[in-house]
Amino acid sequence: MSSASAPRSLSTSGKQWFWAGTLVFLSFALPAEGLSGPSSPAARAASVDVTCTGALTSHFTPGLSVDVRTITVRGEGELTRCHSGDPALTSATTTYTSRGQYSCTGGSARRTYTVRWSNGRASTIETTTGYENDPKGQRLLMSKGSVTSGEFAGGTAVIIASLPVTPPVACTSSEGMSEITVPVAVTLLKP
């Protein structure tokens, strides 16, 4: 990949954490702990409406810095590997917005996602978003909530974005980090 096609906020080392984070992240995409529900693999599969993986790009105004401040986040993403009972649902695009107290190392907010599925339907998802660390030390941005309308309405949503273990250098600049692209997994559970 040429540096001209890479997002501005990702350096070569940033690309390395992106792909390494994807591998670590995917091992936690459907954690049994933390989700109430059946514990056997077959029972868990029966309770899932759809799972997807892909990437999200977030834009921050003002830029994220080392200090906590009110930030508006808007973003978009491609979910390229979706699995569900609907053979026409193989991918999706999403947009999202939130406003809350964030820094490069923490924060939380309510977030609204609009997901447009490849089967022609859409979902609106309302979540509470915050930072967490998994047992292996990976930093995660966890969005947990519900599907409020459209496809899968009434279901539970778990959206997990894998973050760099150390914040990008842009966090220490006077403007802060204005954009980042991270791997993501989306799981929607049946009501």
Among all chains, which residue has been given the structure tokens 């049946």?
A: 190
User: 51: which strand partners?
Assistant: 83, 187
Residue 159 or residue 3, greater confidence:
159
How confident is the model at residue 72, as a pLDDT? 97
Contact (Cβ atoms closer than 8 angstroms) between residue 49 and residue 155: yes
Pairing of strands 107-117, 122-133: antiparallel
pLDDT band at 115 (very low <50, low <70, confident <90, very high): very high
**Rounded Cα–Cα distance for residues 143 and 158 (Å):** 6
- Residue 59, pLDDT > 80, answer yes
How confident is the model at residue 175, as a pLDDT? 93
How confident is the model at residue 30, as a pLDDT? 40
User: 70: which strand partners?
Assistant: 101
How confident is the model at residue 11, as a pLDDT? 37
Q: Is 89 helix (H, G, I), strand (E, B) or coil?
A: coil
How confident is the model at residue 167, as a pLDDT? 82
4, burial (CB in 10 Å: exposed 0-12, middle 13-18, buried 19+): exposed
Rg (CA), the chain: 16
Q: Please state the pTM of the whole predicted model.
A: 0.76
The arithmetic mean of pLDDT across residues 90-119, rounded, is 95
The arithmetic mean of pLDDT across residues 92-112, rounded, is 93
Please report which residue ranges of 27-151 form alpha helices under DSSP H: 41-47
